[in-house]
Amino acid sequence: MGDIIAAINAALTAIGIPEELDAILSFTIPAAVVFALFYVALAILAKKGRMTRSTAAFWGFIFPWIFGFLVFTAGPMVYSLGLSFFDWDLVSAPTFVGFGNYVTAAQDPYVGKALQVTLLFAVVSVPLQVVLSLAVAMLMNVKVKGINIFRTIWYLPSLVTGVAQVALFLWVFNPKYGLVNGVLGFFGIDGPSWFRDPNWALPAVILMSLWTVGGNMVIYLAGLQDVPAELHEAAQLDGAGQFRRFWNVTLPQLSPVIFFNVVTGLIGALQTFTQGYIIQAALQTGSGTGSSGTALLFFVLYLYQNAFNYFHMGYASALAWILFVMIMLLTLLVFRGSSFWVYYESARPARKDRVRRVRTR
């Protein structure tokens, strides 16, 4: 493969293509050849009757996704899995160490700390987001004039995420000039240092994660509006109060939506990176005194530090696969437990009555 890329680069240089475009064209030209060969093969198979036109159209439309998945997702994953068994610093040749990187991770105290911080953040922030977004969705589900304006106001903060969100909350939680400590000071309360205090750094990030509940609120709102009104009417005629209708009608009907948000929220929380990275960078560049220490050492942040600060690419790959297995196991655990609380009306198992077969002679 390297020889092919080198030949393409030599040919591009020979015809006068700028060197800045070599990297892009070295990928796009082989990709274009692969696409052309694939579509020509589909056309030949469809013309000879080996494949129906609808089947050929299906593979033709899905092939760009397959190509992107293999090149940009599956390929790097397989490569990182192999790299996790090597010691490589990007400069010298990789050295095979077997399971040495995984043994090192098991003995690394920072791995344990990163797992503790990440799991604590996920266990606290995900339920808070579920409860708050569901509560807001129920408030926004009323039919009053101008309700769409309030729904938009609740949703808008979810558009400000990533670095912009962290930069905003660096000011909100500023111990001297921040909005939160200013409000607390108005009531005579001496606010903490938040991000600069190891005891308050993670709670501040958890509070910051509630900024984007508007995104989940829209999903819950759609689920609430999909609950059949006749179920509430029947429960009300039977004498059920508002809380009983919510517990026995709304929540069971909404449980698939809650399940979806729990799974996606858990996976996202376990991959938290931006908050810890930006906050630590801001504290290190002199935006104030103090340090959060390892209070915001999320697992992905520690993985990033090993890969791009210490250039331990093999060790970072091993950490990535440890995180992958952890996310997969926790997700499977949630799926396993969903059978006890997630209600699918169309998927209820039918009762099977045993029928005795009488043999006649």
Residue carrying structure tokens 């906050």: 279
Q: Indicate whether 86 pLDDT > 80.
A: yes
Per-residue pLDDT band at 359 (split at 50, 70, 90): very low
Residues 111, 75 share a domain: no
Residue 357 pLDDT level (bands cut at 50, 70, 90): very low
DSSP secondary structure letters along 276-316: HHHHHHHHHTTSSS---TTTT--HHHHHHIIIIIS--HHHH
The CATH number given to whatever domain includes residue 266 is: 1.10.3720.10
Residue spans of beta strands (DSSP E) within 43-104: 86-87, 95-96
User: Which residues are 356's β-sheet partners?
Assistant: none
> Residue 79 and residue 65: Cα distance in Å, rounded?
20
Alpha-carbon distances, residue 241 vs 44, 228, 237, 332 (angstroms)? 67, 17, 10, 36
CA–CA distance, 34 with 41 (Å, rounded to integer): 11
The DSSP secondary-structure symbol of 91 reads: S
Question: What is the C-alpha to C-alpha distance for residues 199 and 192, in angstroms, rounded to an integer?
Answer: 9
**Final residue in a domain of this structure, among 27, 53, 83:** 83
Same domain as 338, residue 198: yes
User: How far is residue 262 CA from its own chain's centroid?
Assistant: 11
Average pLDDT for residues 288-311, to the nearest whole number? 84
Quick check: is 238 in a domain?
yes
Say yes or no: 46 and 130 in one domain: no
> Do residue 79 and residue 164 come from a single domain?
no
Residue at a domain's end among 49, 83, 117 = 83
Whether residues 181 and 62 fall in one domain: no
93 occurs within a structural domain: no
- Mark whether 180 and 73 lie in a shared domain: no
State whether 9 and 124 are in the same domain.
no
123 and 200 housed in the same domain: yes
Question: What separation, in Å, do the N-terminal and C-terminal C-alpha atoms of the chain show?
Answer: 75
Report if residue 23 sits inside a domain: yes
More confident residue, 38 or 15: 38
Kindly report the average pLDDT of the chain as a whole number.
87
In the chain, the number of structural domains is 2
- Domain residues for the domain of 63 are 2-83
Please tell me whether residue 152 adopts helix, strand or coil conformation: helix
Residues 15 and 139 in one domain: no
* Distances, alpha carbon 358 to alpha carbons 351, 352, 354, 355, in Å: 22, 18, 13, 9
pLDDT for position 360: 42
For 156-213, the pLDDT digits (tens) are 999 988 899 999 999 999 988 899 999 999 898 898 989 988 999 999 999 999 998 9
Give strand ranges (E) for 183-308: none
With tokens 């996790």, the residue in question is 84
pLDDT confidence bin for 107, thresholds 50/70/90: very high
One-letter amino acid for residue 196 of the chain = R
Note the residue count of the chain. Answer: 361
Nearest alpha-carbon partner for 85 in 101, 105, 74, 106 = 101
Whether residues 67 and 111 fall in one domain: no
In this predicted structure, what is the pLDDT of residue 239? 86
DSSP element (H, E) containing 87: strand 86-87
Span 115-162, pLDDT tens digits: 999 999 999 999 999 999 999 999 999 888 889 999 999 999 999 888
Tokens for 145, please give them.
């004039």
Whether 351 is in a domain gets the answer: no
Instruction: Tell me the pTM.
Output: 0.84
Q: Which residue has the tokens 């390892």?
A: 294
Which one of 50, 83, 116 terminates a domain?
A: 83
The pLDDT assigned to 235 comes to 87
Nearest one of 74, 65, 100 to 324, comparing CA atoms: 74
Q: Is residue 359 part of a domain?
A: no
Same domain, 162 and 57: no
Q: Where are the beta strands (DSSP E) in the chain?
A: 86-87, 95-96
- 325 CB-contact burial (10 Å; exposed 0-12 / middle 13-18 / buried 19+): exposed
Q: What angle do CA 29, 72, 310 make, to 5 degrees?
A: 115
Strand partners, 96: 86
Spatial distance between the Cα atoms of 219 and 35, rounded to a whole number of angstroms: 38
What is the structure's pLDDT at 2? Answer: 52
Same domain, 29 and 152: no
Q: What is the mean pLDDT of residues 213-242?
A: 89
Q: What average pLDDT score do residues 315-321 get? A: 96
Mean pLDDT of 64-81: 94
98 domain residue, yes or no: no
